[in-house]
Structure 1
Amino acid sequence: MPLVQVSLRRGKPAEYHQALFEGVYRAMRETFDVPEDDRFMTITEHDDSTFSVSPTYYGVERSDEAVIIRITANNTRDLAQKQALYLRIVELLQANPGVRPEDVFINLVEVLPENWSFGNGIAQYAVQQG
């Protein structure tokens, strides 16, 4: 159950946002064992004063078009799945909506299954385990 939060500079059209959603979701389905309809995603746009990304950290040349993708997910995937996810997100977002690979910053936050409630105040994954 990944929760995806995308941050970018203000000014992109709805079609650009939708392409980001579709690309990340498709990459998760293809590489991360995410079931169909497991889709919880947000996009937050920022003005220049509330969005700061290093243009050169770790030897990567980023532009003002950088996109930060934070994925919160259960800690059940191995390193190979994580690497495949990162690469596939970059491939798909480069194809549509045209994000440069250097401008895709991904942060994976892993949590325990009992840290989710899908509604009704119930920790559904914890109930399944217990």
Structure 2
Amino acid sequence: MPFVEIYLRKGKTPGFRKAVSAAVHESMREVFQIPEDDLFHVVHDMEPDDILQAPTFAGVERSVDSVFIRMTFNHRPPAQKAALFEAIADRVTSATGMRREDVLMTVLETAAENWWVQGRIIDPETGFDTRMSPEAVRAGRVG
């Protein structure tokens, strides 16, 4: 059950907000193979002065249109997180026309026992949703 928070400056359209959320969700479905209904996103509309960032970081210019995406999920291998970052950046820029340089992401990893939602059944051996395929669980591709 990944949990996603999307921070953006006020003034973005509902369509833009939904496009960013859908890009993140479809990327997680592809990379983590989560079920379609495993969607828990919160979009934070921030006042422009409430998002502070350096105009240049790591030698790359960032604009005031930056979007911050914070994802919380169970531990994943570094290569899988890198694949998720790339998939999200590709989808967000394609869906919204944003610059890739303005998509910023971070991950908070937590243990499987730190999640609860009524109706979800967790496999005690894997710590993952029982709807996930055993092959995906063994390969560490699910969430």
Paired residue for 1:85?
Answer: 84
AA partner of residue 95 (structure 2): N
Tell me, what secondary structure is at the counterpart of 1:6? strand
Paired residue for 1:48?
Answer: 48
Distance apart, 1:124 and its partner CA? 5.6
Aligned residues: 125
Q: Which runs of 4+ in 1 moved over 4 A?
A: none
d(CA) in 1 for partners of 2:110, 2:15:
31
Structure 1 position 107 matched with structure 2 position 102 = no
Q: TM-score under structure 2 normalisation?
A: 0.81
Where in structure 2 are there 5+ consecutive unaligned residues? 126-143
Structure 1 position 32 matched with structure 2 position 20 = no
State the identity %.
37
Bigger share in helix: 1
d(CA) in 1 for partners of 2:20, 2:13:
11
CA RMSD of aligned residues (A): 1.7
Distance apart, 1:72 and its partner CA? 0.1
How big is each residue's C-alpha offset from its partner over 1:77-112, in whole Å with a ceiling of 9 and x where there is no partner? 211111111011111111111121000100011000
Paired residue for 1:95?
Answer: 94
Where in structure 1 are there 5+ consecutive unaligned residues? none
How big is each residue's C-alpha offset from its partner over 1:17-72, in whole Å with a ceiling of 9 and x where there is no partner? 11011111011111122222110001001112211122212222110000000000
d(CA) in 2 for partners of 1:85, 1:39:
16
AA partner of residue 79 (structure 1): P
Q: Residues 63-82 of structure 1: matches in 2 within 5 Å?
A: 63-75=63-75, 77-82=76-81
